[in-house]
Structure formats: structure tokens, C-alpha cells
Amino acid sequence: MNAPDLASSMPNPALTSAAPGPGIRRILVGVDAFASDQETVRHALRLAPSLEADIVLLHVALVPIDAAGQIEPIPSMLANTDAMLAREEAIRQRSLEQLAELEASVRLVYPRVEAHVLTGEPDTRLLDAVRIFECDLLIIATHGYTGFKRLFLGSTAEKVVRHATCPVLVVRRDGAAQKDEG
């Protein structure tokens, strides 16, 4: 996403209210640091200025985890905990580098932005982040899976909405499924 794309997401100042919104001071935006389309960011950029809110970008890096919540080792790492931790840190660093580019493009049009990477399961970590970063609104995307895909893949958005302690805005990703695929 480049600066001109983000600039078109900004609201027209003549059409927005100068009064702050209803207690929304920090907007947590779930992003895929490796995706070219950031629909969630565009929505945050439409809301944040009129609410006078900070934008908190969050990418959750999926590190393979076993049923006990431990990092799932690849065979060469079984005897080397340091290697497993190094693997998690490498994934986190790569995600941070990608997210820094997105943060910089957002900052060009809206300066009140920060970016973070957490590792783990997306639904759990998004809910944790609401608390950690003291956010009042969460914006996430949905793939729009239906039928068998939804049954077998689950819905991160659904889990987050069900357990969130703040309002959640769920945005359909471009190209999301429009009809039942089952």
C-alpha cells in the first residue's frame, strides 16, 4: 500500500466533526504484514482523525505451535531449545520489517500510529492486544469463508467477536468468498 492509496482513505476534513468520538482513543488494527491490500488500515484511516484516536497496527506472526501451546519443533530442533527460540525470533523480526513499511506509509497521512508484532494464534493474540495496548475498538478482516472451508478452517473473526471486550469492526477482504463453497 503506498501513500497515495492511503491518502484517498482520509476523510474530507470539511465533512468530519471536530468533536472526539464516544470514548474511542485507540484503534487496534489487525493486519497481515505481507499482504498488499490493507482494507482494515483504510477503515482505520477513515475513523481515526474524526475520533482523534491513535492507530495501533498489529500483525500476529503464526509460529507453529503444538496442542500444549509450545513451539512445534522441526526435527533438527528437537534437542535444541535455543534453535526453536531463534526460529520464533526470526519469524517475528521478518514480520516487524514488513510491518515497518506499512507503518511508514500510514504515518505519511496520519502521524498517530504505532506498530507491533505478536506471535501465536491470531484470535488469542488479537484479544490479548486489546488489553495490552488499551484499545477501544478493534478492526479485523475476514476471509469470508463459508461452508466446508469455514467448518474446517474456523473463523478467527468469529472467535474474536465472540470474546472481545471492545467493539469490533469486521471488514470483508477484497476477493473474499461471496457464496457458499461447500
User: Any idea where the domains of the chain sit in the sequence?
Assistant: 3-12+28-172
- Written as nine digits, the cell of 101 is 513499511
Backbone angles phi, psi at 147, to 5 degrees: 60, -135
At the top level of CATH, which class does the domain 3-12+28-172 belong to?
Answer: alpha beta
Comparing 79 with 120, the larger pLDDT belongs to: 120
Please determine, for residue 170, whether its predicted confidence score (pLDDT) is greater than 50.
Answer: yes
Name the CA radius of gyration of the chain, rounded.
Answer: 18
Per cent of the chain over pLDDT 90 is 43
Cβ count near 157 (within 10 Å): 22
pLDDT of res. 146: 63
CA dist 87 and 92 (Å) reads 9
pTM of the model: 0.74
- Written as nine digits, the cell of 142 is 475476514
CA dist 55 and 32 (Å) reads 15
